[in-house]
């Protein structure tokens, strides 16, 4: 059986290479129509096989229909030759469906020119054997090769190359001659080389390894490894050497990809830290208030995003102390629905800012001179808010779907730049820029800085410090709300959302130096990068840790948990860093004895 | 030439580009009562900070060398180590332990026991109690010994801090504006006290009040600081007559 | 007690006597009457166990208060030391299960579950109770010493100290949540069977063992209270409070503030650790939940509610708030956290001295109310206020 197929495939490719031009006058539809009419299974296979390498959109459509038993032979009443048709659309009450002529895709009409509707059971179905289905698959595999979209072509070529089937070589080589896109050409060369790794003669294999070394793609690593193993067993020293060279090239490329990938992830982790810490840098850094409820301000922003999303969509029902509060939605979909995020951003800023101002007026303003007490009171607030979230939105996470435009990625030189991470970084930059504008270019910013530097003096100059305090705290809380909107796009939204970020954000502000936005930015990116580097490389350092006396095996064990161990190491580094610079990256000096 | 107990040579200290102290050279001799005057921002507080280890000089030498001790480099020591060597400081704004009683403030300052474990097992002996009683009389707080220091009037806090300074029995006393917040009578009495301390102790007094300076300076040296370095040194009348001093400091002071 | 350091005024002395007699009465009630009632069946075994846990929490609260109330160091890492003590003792208790676990293997169940056939090397010495007790002291002691040394050397204080201790606890927590640490992961240690040869679960012997543990906890609490009380009367206590009120000033009085803080930090880590070690057999479980940042903060709440800077306050707060918690979590499961948070906000804002300060705060009010009726000066409250 297998033999027949091989023979057939060889035949098919032959048909393609030799007769490809000959059948050019015939459209793919006509070819398939001819195949449907062909009497024997064997003839059908040959005709279908001749389609290999062509990329007409009708091919997958019709072949799939064939496999679904939707192709029929329609015999006109007056004894004319049967017409191959495809039945499409849903059956009506009488069980009839629209009939389309396979040869040209036009609706089948009766003599009066009216479209005909046919009942499948009245017609002779076009049969298909398993051999024919295999032939179809071989054709379908190659269809994408001719796709106008380079990405589709690359995907198809990749599949072919990784299957390492020698019979696909001629098709790929032909394609390489006519291909103009550089990326696709590289992919073709890779696929050909991968297939040639299976070649019988050493010279071809060595040449293929040379090509793979030149391309040094990550995907080829396993195949090169397999080829080397095989050559080692067979004792082919030259091939082993060539494979080694290729592996070195691939490894070199891999470490480059890892490095840039890590840096990119570090930048995005840093941006997350930055966005969650910026609000804190204002309330803690500028005002000296330890707001333990900062995390809950973030959650307020995230829940606001959730509400806005539901307002744009189907609406939402909120259980509130036994009552049900139903909020009808706008019922939007598609692009308009995706735009909810644009509305959610200002909404979450405002919501969190309002809660923040309320908190400042009711509690924090009494505690400006007692930082430790403000820490404790705001922790009480945090408990209350978390429980309120639980009561209102439930203890489980709520679903916030990110707009579809965040799910793609760019791939440059095999380094993947996910759009969500790019979005994260962009959002971070935007917010920092916004804060910089507010602090330096607005009257509020001027007043803020004046009050924070010398409260008494500012008050003497007629600044209404109470008001400035309130607004500053509102700004800091609003920023936390923004962070919430932002986090809702990349993670879960739940009652304890804020708790998971609070420790990190305090670290960022402390390391950056209190009262210094620039320090916060540097420290966020620094901590983010170190964290990602450790996560990336800790597992590879694990064996080295075995050498540490007494706790070696223990450390080695822990290093496997790179995310956790990395976090712990980062904390250790922060403590050591504070030994060196107790006041953070940028120091703000005070002249009083106790201060 | 008497022996300098405190040597400050060529010291510079910069804060964020601002030279608080620049190339300052200053010698304090054993038993001397030195008065330091200078306009605001002349670097008087920074000068004390540098000696007591609260700030470190960028360049220059600060050494402590009473006759009985070997020479010690103060720039490498911590605040408490410098204090233990025998250099006591009274701050400009009275800094006493407001939540402790007057008595406890003095107990804390009394010379001796400073280590963690030593303080746990420390008990006052009768000489020490007598010493505290004596100090309480001197600073006229004997009947307020159980008061919390925070409840005292400003002038009383000043006295308490002077008492705390004396309790630690330092060789060198650095005193920052002792007369601030005191009545004329109290100021005068402070002056008398400081004069009586000279000889046995070496003192540096920073002061603004010219009457007070005149009272304590007598024939002793007065140092004028200006922009972080010594403008001139000499007896009070000499300094007062110095044209540059009149220009930067006394000239303004005399108008009112 | 002859107080030679600080002569107490008559007011202080009366208050001091009152406190001592109150403590004496409570000690007799807790250590003698309560267990006797339990033996008679008047107090249920469950209640005894719950109160035993409260006493352990009181130790934790004392450790928070010695740092925060007396030295001005708000440590948010005391729950970590409490848990470490618990884990060290828990390792001994896990070994005492022997092969009575679910898998009937001579090593703890979770290790069997993780695919271990033999005991990891660092578990072996924990067969010995004495070794476990040494570790209860050593592990938190060394950790607090290292952390304290670095933190105090670089003069990290105030809220920075709080934030760093919280971060330390957080880091330890995520570490203990991992199975790779071989400390039980999420589930921690539980299902203890024996302590020092006495059964914890046997229907006859179990209650007796629990009673013994309860008394032991009470005795330890009394001793720690006594130690703290004594320390506060020494010159060390004076320096400690001086650091709280003016740390920089202390340096200029010639005290190495960092050494004092380090000493007290390590001491408090040990107090918390001993509390945790006693807690584990009473509670029957220890897991990383105990290290959550909110656990440390909760302990701070007890101290604040009870009255910081006193020694009775934290004990009162720990027992009181936890008693309230056990009641409220059953009566109002949904609203309990809101209640706790609100209580805390109110105490911080309106009663900074905690419950202990209530009598002295109410005294003027009481006088004012009684004033007119006693026939003294008929001043209306409005003009007085």
Contact B80 C7 (CB under 8 A): no
CB B146 within 8 A of CB C291: no
CB B30 within 8 A of CB B67: yes
Contact B16 A593 (CB under 8 A): no
Residues in chain B: 256
Residues ≥6 apart with Cβ < 8 Å to A274: A428, A431, A432, A508, A520, A521, A524, A525, A528
Q: Which residue has the higher pLDDT, A272 or B108?
A: B108
Q: In 3-state terms, what secondary structure has residue A316?
A: strand
What band does B173 get if pLDDT is binned at 50, 70 and 90?
Answer: very high
Whether residue B143 lies within 8 A of chain A, CB to CB, comes out as no
Contact A589 B93 (CB under 8 A): no
Task: Write out the two tokens for A377.
Answer: 């009171």
Q: What does the alpha-carbon distance between residue B89 and residue B96 come to, in Å, rounded to a whole number?
A: 12
Task: Classify the C-alpha dihedral A503-A504-A509-A510 as positive or negative.
Answer: positive
Chain C contact set for B104 (CB, 8 A): 6, 238
Closest Cβ–Cβ partner in B15, B16, B95 for A593: B95
Contact C340 A567 (CB under 8 A): no
Q: What residue ranges define each of the domains in chain B, with the CATH number in brackets?
A: 4-96+171-248 (3.40.50.300)
Query: What is the per-residue pLDDT for A570?
Result: 87
Strands A315-320 and A83-88, bridge-based pairing = unpaired
Chain C contact set for A384 (CB, 8 A): 337-338, 341-342, 345
Closest Cβ–Cβ partner in B15, B45, B93 for A589: B15
Closest Cβ–Cβ partner in A377, A502, A503 for C345: A377
Q: What does the alpha-carbon distance between residue C227 and residue C225 come to, in Å, rounded to a whole number?
A: 5
Chain C contact set for B102 (CB, 8 A): none
Strands B202-206 and B172-176, bridge-based pairing = parallel
**Closest-approach residue (CA) in chain C for A382:** C341
Chain A contact set for C171 (CB, 8 A): 567-568, 571
Task: State the average pLDDT over residues A70-85.
Answer: 78
CB A142 within 8 A of CB A53: yes
Chains that touch B (3 or more CB pairs under 8 A): A, C
Chain B contact set for C260 (CB, 8 A): 116
Query: What is the per-residue pLDDT for C300?
Result: 92
Helix axes A340-362, A465-490, angle to 10 degrees: 140
Whether residue C254 lies within 8 A of chain B, CB to CB, comes out as yes
Contact C235 B113 (CB under 8 A): yes
Whether residue B99 lies within 8 A of chain A, CB to CB, comes out as no
Starting from the edge strand earliest in sequence, which strands make up the sheet with B229-234, in order?
A: B87-90, B172-176, B202-206, B33-37, B222-226, B229-234
Contact B95 A589 (CB under 8 A): no
Contact C340 A367 (CB under 8 A): no
Helix H or strand E encompassing A213: helix A202-215
Phi, psi of A103 (to 5 degrees): -60, -35
> A110-119, B97-106, C253-262, C277-286: lowest mean pLDDT where?
A110-119
Contact C180 A510 (CB under 8 A): no
Nearest alpha carbon to residue A24 among A64, A59, A51, A57 = A51
CB C311 within 8 A of CB C98: no
Q: What does the alpha-carbon distance between residue A549 and residue A539 come to, in Å, rounded to a whole number?
A: 19
Contact C253 B100 (CB under 8 A): no
Query: What is the per-residue pLDDT for C59?
Result: 97
DSSP structure string for A463-518: --HHHHHHHHHHHHHHHHHHHHHHHHHHS-B-TTTTHHHHHHHHHHHHHH-TT-HH
CB A318 within 8 A of CB A324: yes
Instruction: Assess whether pLDDT exceeds 50 at residue C381.
Output: no
**Closest-approach residue (CA) in chain B for A594:** B95
**Closest-approach residue (CA) in chain A for C292:** A499
Closest Cβ–Cβ partner in A377, A575, A593 for C344: A377
What band does A360 get if pLDDT is binned at 50, 70 and 90?
Answer: very high
Chain B contact set for A589 (CB, 8 A): 15-16
> A74-88, C71-85, C123-137: lowest mean pLDDT where?
A74-88
**Closest-approach residue (CA) in chain B for A587:** B16
Query: What is the per-residue pLDDT for A79?
Result: 67
Query: What is the per-residue pLDDT for C228?
Result: 95
Instruction: Assess whether pLDDT exceeds 90 at residue A304.
Output: yes
Contact C241 B97 (CB under 8 A): yes
Round the average pLDDT of chain A to a whole number and report it: 80
Contact C247 A366 (CB under 8 A): no
Residues ≥6 apart with Cβ < 8 Å to B166: B135, B138, B197
Contact C251 B100 (CB under 8 A): no
What pLDDT, in 10s, does the model give residues A192-233? 888 888 777 888 888 888 888 888 888 888 888 888 888 888
What band does C128 get if pLDDT is binned at 50, 70 and 90?
Answer: very high
Please list, residue by residue across C150-165, b when 16 or more beta carbons sit within 10 angstroms of its beta carbon and e when fewer do: bbbebbbbbbbbbbbb
Q: What does the alpha-carbon distance between residue A10 and residue A17 come to, in Å, rounded to a whole number?
A: 11
Residues ≥6 apart with Cβ < 8 Å to C10: none
**Closest-approach residue (CA) in chain B for C256:** B80
Going from N- to C-terminal start, the domains of chain C cover 20-292
What pLDDT, in 10s, does the model give residues A403-445? 777 777 777 777 777 888 888 889 889 989 988 888 888 888 8
> A248-262, A560-574, C42-56: lowest mean pLDDT where?
A560-574
Distance from the Cα of C59 to chain A's closest Cα (Å) equals 20
Distance from the Cα of B23 to chain C's closest Cα (Å) equals 26
Contact A510 C162 (CB under 8 A): no
Strands A83-88 and A97-101, bridge-based pairing = antiparallel
Strands B72-73 and A71-74, bridge-based pairing = unpaired
Between the alpha carbon of residue A563 and those of residues A79, A191, A533, A547, C38, the distances in Å are: 76, 36, 10, 22, 49
**Angle ∠(C71,C72,C74) on CA atoms, nearest 5:** 115
Whether residue A555 lies within 8 A of chain C, CB to CB, comes out as no
Q: Which residue has the higher pLDDT, B133 or A29?
A: B133
* DSSP state, residue A218: G
What pLDDT, in 10s, does the model give residues A255-291? 888 888 888 888 888 888 898 888 888 888 777 788 8
Whether residue A593 lies within 8 A of chain B, CB to CB, comes out as yes
Instruction: Assess whether pLDDT exceeds 80 at residue B68.
Output: no
Strand locations in chain B (E): 4-15, 18-29, 33-37, 59-64, 72-73, 87-90, 172-176, 202-206, 222-226, 229-234
Q: What does the alpha-carbon distance between residue B211 and residue B205 come to, in Å, rounded to a whole number?
A: 14
Phi, psi of A87 (to 5 degrees): -95, 125
Contact C338 A387 (CB under 8 A): yes
Task: State the average pLDDT over residues B59-71.
Answer: 84
Closest Cβ–Cβ partner in A379, A503, A564 for C175: A564
Nearest alpha carbon to residue A586 among A519, A526, A517 = A519
First-to-last C-alpha distance (Å) of chain B: 39
Task: Count contacts between A and B (CB, < 8 Å).
Answer: 6
Q: What does the alpha-carbon distance between residue A511 and residue A574 come to, in Å, rounded to a whole number?
A: 7
Nearest alpha carbon to residue B155 among B182, B175, B178, B186 = B182
Contact A557 C304 (CB under 8 A): no
Chain C contact set for A593 (CB, 8 A): 246, 248-249
What pLDDT, in 10s, does the model give residues A3-12? 555 555 444 4
What pLDDT, in 10s, does the model give residues C167-209? 899 889 988 998 888 899 899 999 999 999 999 988 899 999 9
Residues in chain A: 595
Which residues pair with residue A189 across a beta bridge?
none
Contact B107 C6 (CB under 8 A): yes
Question: Which residues, numbered 8 to 37 in chain B, qualify as contacts with chain A under a Cβ-Cβ cut-off of 8 Å?
Answer: 15-16
Closest Cβ–Cβ partner in A589, A591, A593 for B91: A593
Please list, residue by residue across A428-442, b when 16 or more beta carbons sit within 10 angstroms of its beta carbon and e when fewer do: beebbeebeeebeee
CB C344 within 8 A of CB A380: yes
* DSSP state, residue C5: S
Whether residue A95 lies within 8 A of chain C, CB to CB, comes out as no
Q: What does the alpha-carbon distance between residue C132 and residue A199 come to, in Å, rounded to a whole number?
A: 66
Nearest alpha carbon to residue A275 among A479, A574, A516, A529 = A479
| Alpha-helical segments (H) within chain C | 10-28, 34-39, 45-71, 78-96, 109-113, 129-153, 158-176, 205-233, 235-252, 257-283, 293-306, 312-331, 336-350, 358-373, 381-384
Task: Count contacts between B and C (CB, < 8 Å).
Answer: 90
Percent of chain C exceeding pLDDT 70 equals 93
Round the average pLDDT of chain B to a whole number and report it: 87
Starting from the edge strand earliest in sequence, which strands make up the sheet with A117-118, in order?
A: A117-118, A97-101, A83-88, A71-74, A124-125
Contact B83 C245 (CB under 8 A): no
Residues ≥6 apart with Cβ < 8 Å to C109: C101, C102, C103, C191
Chain B contact set for C241 (CB, 8 A): 97, 99-100
Which residues pair with residue C286 across a beta bridge?
C189
């Amino acid at each position: 059986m297998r033999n027949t197929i091989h023979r057939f495939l060889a035949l098919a490719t032959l048909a393609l290479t030799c007769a490809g031009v000959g059948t050019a006058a015939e459209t793919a539809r006509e070819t398939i129509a001819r195949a449907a009419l062909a009497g024997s299974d064997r003839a059908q296979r040959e005709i279908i096989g001749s389609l290999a390498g062509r990329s007409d959109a009708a091919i997958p459509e019709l072949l799939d229909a064939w496999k679904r038993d939707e192709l029929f032979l329609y015999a006109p009443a007056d004894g004319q030759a049967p017409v191959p048709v495809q039945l499409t659309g849903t059956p009506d009450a009488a069980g009839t469906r629209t009939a389309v002529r396979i040869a040209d895709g036009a609706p089948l009409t009766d003599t009066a020119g009216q479209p005909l509707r046919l009942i499948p059971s009245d017609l002779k179905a076009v049969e298909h054997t398993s051999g024919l289905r295999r032939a179809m698959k071989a054709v379908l595999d190659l269809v994408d090769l001719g796709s106008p979209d380079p990405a589709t072509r690359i995907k198809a070529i990749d599949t072919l190359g990784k299957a390492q089937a020698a019979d696909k070589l001629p098709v790929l080589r032909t394609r390489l001659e006519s291909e103009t896109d550089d990326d696709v050409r590289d992919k073709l060369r890779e696929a050909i080389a991968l297939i040639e790794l299976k070649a019988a003669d050493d010279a071809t294999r060595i040449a293929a390894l040379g090509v793979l070394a030149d391309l040094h793609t990550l995907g080829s690593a396993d195949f090169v490894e397999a080829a080397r193993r095989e050559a080692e067993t067979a004792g082919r020293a030259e091939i082993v050497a060539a494979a080694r060279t290729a592996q070195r090239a691939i490894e070199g490329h891999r470490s480059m990809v890892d490095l840039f990938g890590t840096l990119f992830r570090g930048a995005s982790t840093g941006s997350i830290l930055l966005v969650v810490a910026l609000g804190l840098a204002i309330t803690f850094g500028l005002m000296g208030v330890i707001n333990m409820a900062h995390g809950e301000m973030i959650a307020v922003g995230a829940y606001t995003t959730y509400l806005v999303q539901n307002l744009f969509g189907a609406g939402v029902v909120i259980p509130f102390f036994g009552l049900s509060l139903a909020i009808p939605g706008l019922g939007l979909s598609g692009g308009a629905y995706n735009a909810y995020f644009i509305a959610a951003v200002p909404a979450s800023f405002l919501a969190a800012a309002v809660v923040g101002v309320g908190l400042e007026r009711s509690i924090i303003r009494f505690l400006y001179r007692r930082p430790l007490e403000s820490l404790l009171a705001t922790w009480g607030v945090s408990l209350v808010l978390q429980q309120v979230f639980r009561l209102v939105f439930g203890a489980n996470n709520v679903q916030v779907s990110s707009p579809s435009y965040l799910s793609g990625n760019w791939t440059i030189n095999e380094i993947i730049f996910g759009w969500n991470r790019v979005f994260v970084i962009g959002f971070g930059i935007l917010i920092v820029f916004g804060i910089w504008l507010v602090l330096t270019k607005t009257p509020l910013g001027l007043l803020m800085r004046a009050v924070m530097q010398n409260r008494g003096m500012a008050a003497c100059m007629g600044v209404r410090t109470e008001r400035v305090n309130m607004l500053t705290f509102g700004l800091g809380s609003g920023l936390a709300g923004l962070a919430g909107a932002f986090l809702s796009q990349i993670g879960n939204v739940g009652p304890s959302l804020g708790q998971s970020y609070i420790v990190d954000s305090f670290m960022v502000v402390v390391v950056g130096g209190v009262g210094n936005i620039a320090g916060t930015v540097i420290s966020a990116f620094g901590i983010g990068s170190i964290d990602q580097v450790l996560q990336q490389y800790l597992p590879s350092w694990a064996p080295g840790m075995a050498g540490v006396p007494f706790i070696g095996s223990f450390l080695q064990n822990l290093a496997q948990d790179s995310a956790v161990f990395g976090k712990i190491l980062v904390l250790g580094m922060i403590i050591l860093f504070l030994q060196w610079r107790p006041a953070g990256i940028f120091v703000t000096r005070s002249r009083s004895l106790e201060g | 030439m008497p022996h300098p107990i405190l040597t400050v040579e060529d010291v510079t200290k910069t804060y964020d580009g601002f030279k608080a102290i620049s190339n300052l050279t200053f010698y304090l001799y054993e038993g001397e009562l030195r008065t330091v005057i200078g306009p605001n921002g002349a670097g008087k507080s920074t000068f004390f900070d540098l000696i007591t280890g609260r700030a470190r000089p960028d360049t220059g030498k600060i050494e402590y060398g009473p006759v009985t001790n070997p020479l010690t480099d103060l720039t490498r020591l911590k605040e408490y180590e410098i204090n233990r060597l025998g250099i006591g400081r009274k701050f400009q704004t009275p800094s006493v332990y407001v939540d402790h009683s007057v008595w406890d403030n003095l107990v804390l300052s009394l010379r001796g026991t400073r280590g963690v474990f030593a303080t746990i097992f420390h008990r006052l002996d009768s000489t020490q109690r007598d010493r505290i009683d004596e100090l309480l009389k001197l600073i006229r707080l004997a009947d307020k010994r159980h008061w919390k220091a925070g409840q005292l009037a400003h002038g009383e806090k000043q006295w308490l801090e002077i008492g705390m300074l004396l309790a630690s029995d330092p060789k060198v006393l650095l005193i920052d504006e002792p007369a601030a917040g005191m009545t004329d009578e109290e100021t005068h009495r402070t002056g008398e006290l400081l004069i009586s301390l000279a000889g046995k102790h070496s003192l540096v007094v920073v002061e603004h009040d010219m009457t007070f300076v005149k009272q304590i300076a007598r024939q002793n040296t007065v140092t004028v600081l200006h922009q972080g370095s010594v403008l001139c040194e000499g007896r009070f009348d000499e300094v007062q007559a110095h044209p540059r001093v009149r220009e930067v400091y006394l000239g303004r002071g005399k108008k009112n | 007690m002859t107080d030679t350091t600080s002569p107490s005024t008559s007011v202080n002395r009366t208050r001091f006597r009152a406190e001592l007699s109150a403590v004496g009465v409570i000690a007799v009630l807790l250590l003698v009457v309560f267990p006797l009632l339990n033996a008679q069946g008047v107090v249920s075994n469950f209640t005894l166990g719950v109160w035993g846990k409260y006493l352990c929490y009181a130790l934790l609260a004392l450790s928070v208060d010695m740092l925060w109330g007396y030295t001005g160091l708000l440590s948010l890492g005391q729950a970590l030391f409490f848990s470490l003590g618990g884990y060290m003792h828990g390792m001994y208790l896990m070994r005492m299960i022997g092969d009575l676990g679910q898998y009937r293997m001579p090593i703890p169940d979770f290790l069997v579950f993780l695919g271990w056939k033999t005991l990891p090397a660092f578990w072996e010495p924990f067969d010995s109770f004495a070794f476990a007790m040494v570790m209860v002291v050593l592990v938190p002691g060394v950790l607090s010493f290292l952390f304290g040394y670095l933190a105090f050397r670089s003069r990290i204080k105030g809220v920075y100290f709080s934030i760093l201790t919280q971060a330390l606890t957080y880091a330890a927590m995520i570490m203990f949540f991992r199975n790779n640490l071989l400390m039980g992961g999420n589930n921690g240690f539980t299902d203890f069977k024996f302590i020092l040869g006495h059964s914890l679960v046997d229907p006859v012997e179990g209650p007796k063992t629990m009673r013994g543990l309860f008394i032991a906890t009470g005795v330890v609490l009394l001793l720690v209270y006594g130690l703290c009380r004594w320390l506060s009367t020494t010159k060390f206590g004076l320096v400690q409070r001086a650091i709280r009120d003016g740390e920089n000033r202390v340096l200029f009085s010639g005290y190495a503030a960092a050494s004092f803080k380090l000493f007290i930090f390590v001491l408090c880590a040990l107090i918390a650790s001993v509390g945790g070690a006693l807690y584990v057999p009473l509670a029957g479980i220890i897991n990383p939940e105990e290290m959550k940042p909110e656990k440390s903060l909760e302990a701070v709440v007890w101290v604040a509610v009870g009255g910081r800077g006193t020694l009775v306050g934290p004990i009162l707060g720990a027992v009181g708030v936890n008693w309230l918690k056990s009641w409220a979590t059953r009566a109002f499961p949904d609203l309990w956290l809101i209640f706790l948070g609100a209580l805390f906000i109110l105490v911080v804002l309106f009663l900074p001295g905690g419950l202990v300060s209530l009598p002295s705060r109410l005294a003027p009010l009481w006088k004012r109310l009684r004033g007119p009726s006693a026939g003294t000066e008929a001043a209306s409250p409005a003009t007085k206020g």
